[in-house]
Amino acid sequence: MSDATKYISHLELGERDETFLDSNELIINMGPQHPATHGVLRVILKLDGEKVLGTECVIGYLHRGVEKIAENRTYAMFNPYVDRMDYVAAVSNGLGYCEAVEKLLNVEAPPRAKYIRVILAELNRIASHQLWLGTHALDIGAMTPLFYTFRDREEILKIFEKYCGARLTTHAFRIGGCQYETYEGFERDVIKFVDFVTPKIDEYEELLTTNRIWVERTKDVGLISGKDCIALGVTGPVLRASGVKWDIRKAQPYAVYSEMDFEIPVGQNGDTYDRYLVRMAEMRQSLRIIRQAVGKIPEGPIMAKVPKVLKPPVGEIYHSIEAPKGELGYFIVSDGSTQPYRVRVRPPSFVNLQALDLMVRGALVADVIAVIGTLDIVLGEVDR
């Protein structure tokens, strides 16, 4: 137990440092409305001058009761709700849910649907990382990458719009496969996009990776070791940047990732700079996957034979995927009726946000904002 107390914020424990002049400590509130906190997040900081002694996150401003809603909707009706959690990368949420329910029904989506799913999921990963890069750079002060990444993200959103009609909350997949056949020119568009964006990623790197101000702002900021990451349950690029080479796409492959050839970028130090490099490398690996997948899409049906009224047998299942933010898991309990008995969403951002306290202890106030940005949290997912 004594080993674990280091993970708990001093504020939560009610401990106070025995400083000689207690008046040095200042409690500052980074309120729910704040340009840098990626949504409605309230962080209470306990400062000693400029140094952070402890933090406490107050969340729940965006709690919409998604899990309760799930108990009152049928399986197919709940599908659109899932996109609204991590609204930045909506396709991944849908992928996780559909695959979880398909497992419960013991059906498998046909290969063509799986390839389409992989292509859209990887495009979605690139879009999410681009948005992350723009906002993270903006928090640190570099205004320009925001505009570049959003301009390039538009191309992905155009592809989504042509495919399923929506840019943000796509509802792209259905239980059993995909509803929409790929449109005429889908492969051509995707290849054109991949060729378009590869030099653009180099452009982002050129602006930031060797920029000494960027390096100084991000190196050794928000350090977290691999062991701490595992203990705190942090997953995704944060875990990989701390040296743990683990990706659900390789460890427990889903869709057709087992047939794709890609690498998992790993960092060494677990600081913000490494997380930045890992995400940039992930973007490149996603492009690699997309190229392979587009070349290999098989012909065939896009929807498996699922009954019109979905009534999975009684049982429970847990299925997780590698969302851009980490391990996104769905724990579904079925009681044999058309509505799920319990849907539990294991949000990566919720668990990653716990690590904030450990990462900013002893850092300066300006680093708190950099670390919140580097954790890549989306409040829709944290609060559900």
Partner 1 sequence: MVAKLKGQYGSGLEALSYLGQNYLVADRSLIPEILQILRDEEQFDYCVDVTAVHYPERPKQFEVFWILYSFERNERIRVKTGISDGESLPSSVGLWPTANWLEREVFDMFGIKFDGHPDLKRILLPDGWKGYPLRKDYGIIQQDNEWVQINLGIESGQ
Partner 2 sequence: MLDYITSYLHSDLTPGQAGNMLWATVYILIVFAGISLAVVAMNWLERKALAHMQVRLGPMRVGPHGLLQPIADAVKLLIKEDIIPSEADKLVFWIAPLMVVTAAFTTYIVVPFGPTHAITDMNIGILFMLGVSSLGVLGIVMAGWASNSHYPLIGGLRSSAQMVSYEVAMGLAVVSAVLMTSMNATGIGTLSMIGIVNAQKDQGIWFAFKYFPLGFIALAVFGVAMVAETNRAPFDLPEAESELTAGFHTEYSGLRWSLFMLGEYAAMIAVSSVAVTLWLGGWLRPFPNWLSGQPWDLIFSLFPAATFLVLAAIAALGVLRMPKHAYFRVQTIGLAGFAGVLGLIGLVLLIPPVRDRVEDIYWFVIKVAAFMYLYIWYRATFPRYRFDQLMKVGWKVLLPVALGALIATAVVGVL
Whole-number CA gyration radius for the chain: 21
188 is a site residue for partner 1 (CB under 8 A): no
State the Cα–Cα distance between residues 146 and 203, nearest whole angstrom: 12
Number of residues counted as binding partner 2 (CB under 8 A): 29
* Tokens linked to 20: 């000689």
Q: Which is nearer to partner 2, 125 or 136 (CB)?
A: 136
Nearest to 361, CA basis, from 178, 222, 187, 192: 222
97 is a site residue for partner 1 (CB under 8 A): no
The least CB distance from residue 371 to partner 1, in Å, is 17
Q: Considering CB distances under 5 to 8 angstroms, the limit depending on partner class, which of partner 2, partner 1, none binds residue 12?
A: partner 1
State the Cα–Cα distance between residues 285 and 279, nearest whole angstrom: 10
Q: Is 327:86 a contact under the CB 8 Å cutoff?
A: no
Q: Which of 230, 264, 304, 365 binds partner 1 (CB under 8 A)?
A: 230
342 is a site residue for partner 1 (CB under 8 A): yes
Number of residues counted as binding partner 1 (CB under 8 A): 47
301-321 as b/e: b if 16+ CB within 10 A: ebbbebeeebebeeeebebbb
x-marked contacts with partner 1 along 6-35 as a string, rule CB under 8 A: -xx---xx----------------------
The least CB distance from residue 231 to partner 1, in Å, is 5
Q: Where are the beta strands (DSSP E) in 159-227?
A: 173-174, 177-178
Q: Which of 167, 200, 346, 361 binds partner 1 (CB under 8 A)?
A: 346
Q: Is 238:224 a contact under the CB 8 Å cutoff?
A: yes
166 is a site residue for partner 2 (CB under 8 A): no
The least CB distance from residue 257 to partner 1, in Å, is 15
- What is the amino acid identity at position 126? I
Burial of 117 (0-12, 13-18, 19+ CB in 10 A): buried
Q: Which of 12, 216, 263, 316 binds partner 2 (CB under 8 A)?
A: 216
27 is a site residue for partner 2 (CB under 8 A): no
Q: Is 190:159 a contact under the CB 8 Å cutoff?
A: yes
Q: Which DSSP string corresponds to 254-297?
A: -TTGGG--------SS-SHHHHHHHHHHHHHHHHHHHHHHHHHP
68 is a site residue for partner 1 (CB under 8 A): yes
Q: Which is nearer to partner 1, 1 or 21 (CB)?
A: 1
- 132 DSSP assignment: H
Cβ neighbours, 10 Å, residue 47: 18
State the maximum Cα–Cα separation within the chain, in Å, rounded to a whole number: 74
CA 177 to chain centre: 23
The least CB distance from residue 140 to partner 2, in Å, is 4
148 is a site residue for partner 2 (CB under 8 A): yes
* Tokens linked to 238: 């944060």
Q: Which of 32, 80, 233, 243 binds partner 1 (CB under 8 A)?
A: 233
Q: Considering CB distances under 5 to 8 angstroms, the limit depending on partner class, which of partner 1, partner 2, none binds residue 60?
A: partner 1
- Using the rule CB under 8 A, give the single segment among 16-24, 33-41, 162-170, 350-358 that binds partner 1: 350-358
Q: Considering CB distances under 5 to 8 angstroms, the limit depending on partner class, which of partner 2, partner 1, none binds residue 192?
A: none
211 is a site residue for partner 2 (CB under 8 A): yes
137 is a site residue for partner 2 (CB under 8 A): yes
Q: Is 28:51 a contact under the CB 8 Å cutoff?
A: no
Q: Considering CB distances under 5 to 8 angstroms, the limit depending on partner class, which of partner 2, partner 1, none binds residue 35?
A: partner 2
Q: Where are the beta strands (DSSP E) in 151-212?
A: 173-174, 177-178
Binding stretches for partner 2 (CB under 8 A): 28, 30, 35-36, 50, 137-144, 146-148, 151, 207-208, 211, 213-214, 216-217, 364-367, 369
Which residues form the interface with partner 1 (CB under 8 A)? 1, 4-5, 7-8, 12-13, 59-60, 63, 65, 67-69, 71-72, 103-104, 106, 230-234, 244, 246, 251-252, 315-318, 320, 327, 329, 331, 333, 341-342, 344, 346, 350-351, 353-354, 383-384
